[in-house]
Each structure stands twice: as C-alpha cells, then as structure tokens.
C-alpha cells in the first residue's frame, strides 16, 4: 500500500515532520522508495533540471505524464504527486481535464498546482471529482515573469495577509496540503499554525510540517545554479565526472573491458570457425 493523504494528516496531527523529494524517473523513484521517502513529487522543475530550460514554462502535460509513469513504476510505497504545468489549469474545466490525465495516464495519487485567487475554484473542481490536490503558494515558479527577481514572497504586511488568506481558502476548497515556497520563516510558521492541513516548505524555514527539495539540489547533481535554500547531502556531479573520467582512462589504456566482462565461446566452435572459409576471407 502506498502512503495516502490521510497519513500526512495523521503525521501533522501528531506533530511529526515528514519529507518529500522530487523524482523524475524509474531509478530515482526506486532509490527514494528504498530510503523510505513517503512522497515523490514529479515537479515541473523537470523543465530546468532534466530538460535544461531556464524556467518551468515550456513543460507540457505530456512531459509530466511521461515522467509520472516512470516514477510510479519505480516506487511501490511512496505517494506520487504530479505537478500541473503552466497553462494546463486556466479554469476549473481545463484544470479538471488536466488533473484527470495525470491521474489516469500518469497513475499518480495526487496533483499539485500553483497559486491562490482564481485557482481556488480549480482546486475545488478537482477535489470534487475525487483527485487529491496539493496547493502551492509563495514563490510560484510558473509566475517567474510576473515576480521577476522578487523571489521571497510575503515580506510586506499586504503580501503576508494575502498569502494567509489564500492558504485558508485553499484549505476550505479541499486541498490536502500546501507547499510554501520562499516565504519568510515566521510567516510560514503563522500560516502553518492557522491551518488544519499540513504545510510543506521549500526555502521557508523550519516551521512547516513537511519539507520538499529538488532531487538534483539535494544530491549535488545540478551545477548551473544552487538555490540558497538547498542543502546538498551529496556531491554526485563530482562523483559522476570522476567515474566517467576513470572509465575513459581505462578504455583508452586497455584496462577495461577484460575477458571477465564478455562471454567465452566453446573451444570446438572457435576452432571450426578459425578453420572455416568465412574466417579466412574475413
Ligand atoms: O516543480 C517542483 O519541483 C516544485 C517544488 C520545488 C515544490 O514545485
């Protein structure tokens, strides 16, 4: 049985913290499952760390469906959450259709979407159809061109009030949890304490119920840019480059491959092959 939304609510009610990590493929999902990570987010961050774009804007629903299927195949315990990409939920009707595709074709157990305001009715429509929704407030990368360099959201009284209000409205609309991205710690704590559902922080300090990090940041795989809020728990980019350099050196020097990495031919067949016309012409 996979982790369910009720398990996160239970952890929150018990005052226990939990973690999520993004995942985009079968092998990563297998490793995260082995590590006991309870939820995997197939984030549209795949647009930057997997596809190499500057932003998440070019990511399509087909892309997310494709990656969700791999992550679902690689995991058996974690809840898998699929991210709705830019412009796939402009209103309740389209949002529901997109969430339905992630659910049916991507085989996920929940979807995530960015924003409050008009998104509240989109959340409600999706939840009404039995699909759990995770909200996402604060810095929402799909609005990169609106926010510009203003990454931290909620620093002013007006912004903070708006965020708190939107969080409450998302909860009322039926969201089962809310990601708070790049919100000042104190505000993230206030929002967390004023909701009943769990909050999940990224770049929002230690007062949220859960924490989510991007796979490539967490493991030191993406070197174009390391966000301030990321803590690399490994430096896999260096490990991989060193391994590839060793591989190149060994092939060039004839150290790899050896007979151990190939299969032998029966002596008799080899003798006959050598004596055959075919071998002589070759
Ligand atoms: O796309 C993503 O990976 C996300 C997380 C960073 C929350 O939205």
Any idea where the domains of the chain sit in the sequence? 5-234, 239-281
- The reported pLDDT for the residue numbered 281 is 62
> How far is 211 from 205, CA to CA, in rounded Å?
9
Q: Is the separation of the CB atoms in 226 and 232 below 8 Å?
A: yes
- Percent of the chain with pLDDT strictly greater than 70: 99
Active-site residue 267, yes or no?
no
Structure tokens at 39: 């939820």
In the predicted structure, residue 280 carries a pLDDT above the cut 80: no
In the predicted structure, residue 3 carries a pLDDT above the cut 90: yes
Is the minimum distance from the CB of 137 to ligand 1 under 6 angstroms? no
Atom nearest to 212 CA in ligand 1: 7
Q: Which residue in 114, 181, 268, 277 is the catalytic one? A: 181
Is the minimum distance from the CB of 21 to ligand 1 under 6 angstroms? no
Is the minimum distance from the CB of 44 to ligand 1 under 6 angstroms? yes
The band of 108, judged by pLDDT with boundaries at 50, 70 and 90, is very high
C-alpha 43 – ligand 1 centre gap (Å): 5
- DSSP-derived pairing of the beta strands 39-42 and 210-213: unpaired
Task: Please report, for the chain, how many H helices and E strands are present, in that order.
Answer: 13, 8
Question: Whole-model pTM?
Answer: 0.94
In the predicted structure, residue 277 carries a pLDDT above the cut 80: no
C-alpha 1 – ligand 1 centre gap (Å): 25
> How far is 150 from 51, CA to CA, in rounded Å?
24
The band of 226, judged by pLDDT with boundaries at 50, 70 and 90, is confident
In the predicted structure, residue 181 carries a pLDDT above the cut 80: yes
Is the minimum distance from the CB of 214 to ligand 1 under 6 angstroms? yes
Q: Is the separation of the CB atoms in 183 and 207 below 8 Å?
A: no
Q: Where are the beta strands (DSSP E) in the chain?
A: 18-22, 39-42, 79-83, 110-112, 133-138, 177-181, 199-202, 210-213
Residue 117's Cβ-side half-sphere holds a number of Cα atoms within 13 Å equal to 9
In the predicted structure, residue 259 carries a pLDDT above the cut 70: yes
Instruction: Look up tokens 């399509």; give the residue.
Output: 60
Positive or negative CA dihedral for 82, 83, 87, 90? positive
C-alpha 156 – ligand 1 centre gap (Å): 24
Atom nearest to 181 CA in ligand 1: 7
Is the minimum distance from the CB of 212 to ligand 1 under 6 angstroms? yes
Note the pLDDT tens digit of each residue in 26-58.
Answer: 999 999 999 999 999 999 999 999 999 999 999
Could you tell me which of 94, 107, 87, 99 has the C-alpha nearest to residue 29? 107
- The reported pLDDT for the residue numbered 105 is 98
Note the pLDDT tens digit of each residue in 139-173.
Answer: 999 998 888 778 889 999 999 999 999 999 999 99
Structure tokens at 280: 């002589």
Is the minimum distance from the CB of 202 to ligand 1 under 6 angstroms? yes
Q: Tell me which of 3.40.720.10, 3.20.20.60, 3.90.650.10, 1.20.58.1030 is the CATH number of domain 5-234.
A: 3.20.20.60
């Amino acid at each position: 049985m996979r982790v369910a939304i009720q398990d996160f609510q239970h952890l929150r009610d018990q005052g226990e913290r939990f973690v999520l990590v993004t995942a985009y493929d079968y092998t990563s999902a297998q490793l995260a499952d082995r590590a006991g990570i309870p939820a995997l987010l197939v984030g549209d961050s795949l647009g930057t760390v997997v596809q190499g774009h500057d932003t998440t804007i070019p990511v399509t629903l087909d892309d997310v469906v494709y990656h969700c299927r791999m992550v679902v195949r690689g995991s058996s315990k974690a809840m898998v959450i699929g991210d709705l990409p830019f412009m796939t939920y402009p209103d309740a009707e389209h949002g529901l259709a997109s969430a339905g595709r992630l659910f049916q074709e991507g085989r996920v157990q929940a979807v995530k979407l960015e924003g409050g305001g008009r998104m509240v009715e989109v959340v409600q429509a999706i939840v009404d159809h039995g699909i759990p929704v995770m909200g996402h407030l604060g810095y929402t990368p799909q609005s990169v061109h609106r926010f510009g360099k203003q990454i931290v959201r909620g620093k002013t009284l007006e912004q903070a009030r708006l965020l708190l209000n939107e969080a409450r409205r998302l909860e009322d609309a039926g969201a089962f949890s809310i990601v708070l991205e790049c919100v000042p710690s104190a505000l993230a704590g206030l929002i967390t304490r004023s909701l009943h559902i769990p909050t999940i922080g990224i770049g929002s300090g230690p007062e949220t119920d859960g924490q989510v990090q991007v796979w490539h940041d967490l493991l030191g795989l993406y070197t174009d840019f390391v966000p301030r809020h990321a803590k690399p728990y490994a430096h896999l980019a260096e490990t991989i480059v060193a391994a590839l350099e060793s591989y190149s050196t060994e092939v060039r020097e004839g150290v790899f491959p050896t007979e151990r990495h190939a299969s032998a031919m029966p002596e008799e067949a080899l003798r006959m092959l050598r004596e055959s016309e075919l071998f002589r012409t070759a």
